Structure 1
Amino acid sequence: MKNQLDESKPIFLQIKEQLEDSVINESIKQGERVPSTNEFASYYQINPATAAKGINELVHEGILVKRRGVGMFVTEHAKTILIKKRKKTFYDNYMLPLKSEARKLHISKEELLEMVNREGNNSYED
């Protein structure tokens, strides 16, 4: 768990994203138990309902599964689901605006690919 939460976004989203990142980077593997809402609440000194909101969203998305009396566990396909979701978000948030700006600047696909593949020198002169 991260040492502290910040004010940049709602706490439940930070908990949700922290769990997502842990599944993607496999610090929490499929089938493993994740911290409970009470563990999150105690660690971060927050209301358990706040932690539950982030965890419940992951249950709804098929990332976690509740096992009554035992806890929350990472599902078999959690990493695949998260990577697919993050790729779509990446495309929507970065690629679509990039392509739109490239069209405005009359940058061809070839030039754009060249820019993406360029290493080192970050300047572009043309």
Structure 2
Amino acid sequence: MDYSENRPIYMQIVDHFCDQILRKKWTAGDRIPSVREIAVKMEVNPNTAIRAFHYLQDEGILYNERGVGYFVSDNAFELVISLKREEFIKNKLPGFYNDMKLLGFSCSDLDELYSEHHGEG
């Protein structure tokens, strides 16, 4: 995994976990790889990996069964959607909206522009 210097590594691991849940590669009740497995796979210190696990557990996205491992919570998908929306509104939307205003785009232009340049609707 290529890490960005603009965000703590443990939060980039959190983002990866959230992506797995949003893409439904990990669903409610699934056991996820262990802290050690994640640390090796992502080439990070186990302490960094455990920080990501604890963050997600604190958010209710994962739960731990002592001696068994970490699992995806029943409402993880909804919690991740909520978390990611909050992050988008707080961190990305202000700059995005400012750029739109500066470049003269309206909200109604977005679907057409995206389809035109990315072939999707």
C-alpha separation in 1, matches of 2:102 and 2:39? 48
Q: Provide the TM-score with structure 1 as the length reference.
A: 0.74
After TM superposition, list the pairs within 5 Å mapping 1:59-98 onto structure 2.
59-98=57-96
Question: 1:13 aligned to 8, 11, 14, which one?
Answer: 11
| Greater Rg by CA | 1
SS of the counterpart of 1:33? coil
After TM superposition, list the pairs within 5 Å mapping 1:1-126 onto structure 2.
4-8=1-5, 9-100=7-98, 112-119=106-113, 120=116
SS of the counterpart of 2:63? strand
SS of the counterpart of 2:71? strand
For residues 3-52 of structure 1, the C-alpha deviation after alignment (integer angstroms, 9 at most, x for no partner) is: x3425343212221111110111111111011111111233343211110
Please tell me the residue identity of whatever aligns with 1:51.
Answer: A
C-alpha separation in 1, matches of 2:61 and 2:93? 26
For residues 47-91 of structure 1, the C-alpha deviation after alignment (integer angstroms, 9 at most, x for no partner) is: 211110111100000000000111000001111011112112222
C-alpha separation in 2, matches of 1:82 and 1:40? 19
Q: 1:99 to 1:49 in 2, by over 3 A?
A: closer
Q: CA RMSD in A?
A: 2.6
Q: What are the ranges of 5 or more consecutive residues in structure 2 without an aligned counterpart?
A: none
**CA drift at 1:96:** 3.4
SS of the counterpart of 2:54? helix
C-alpha separation in 2, matches of 1:95 and 1:11? 22
C-alpha separation in 1, matches of 2:112 and 2:42? 42
Q: 1:93 to 1:42 in 2, by over 3 A?
A: closer
C-alpha separation in 2, matches of 1:17 and 1:49? 17
Aligned pairs, number: 115
SS of the counterpart of 1:95? helix
Q: Provide the TM-score with structure 2 as the length reference.
A: 0.77
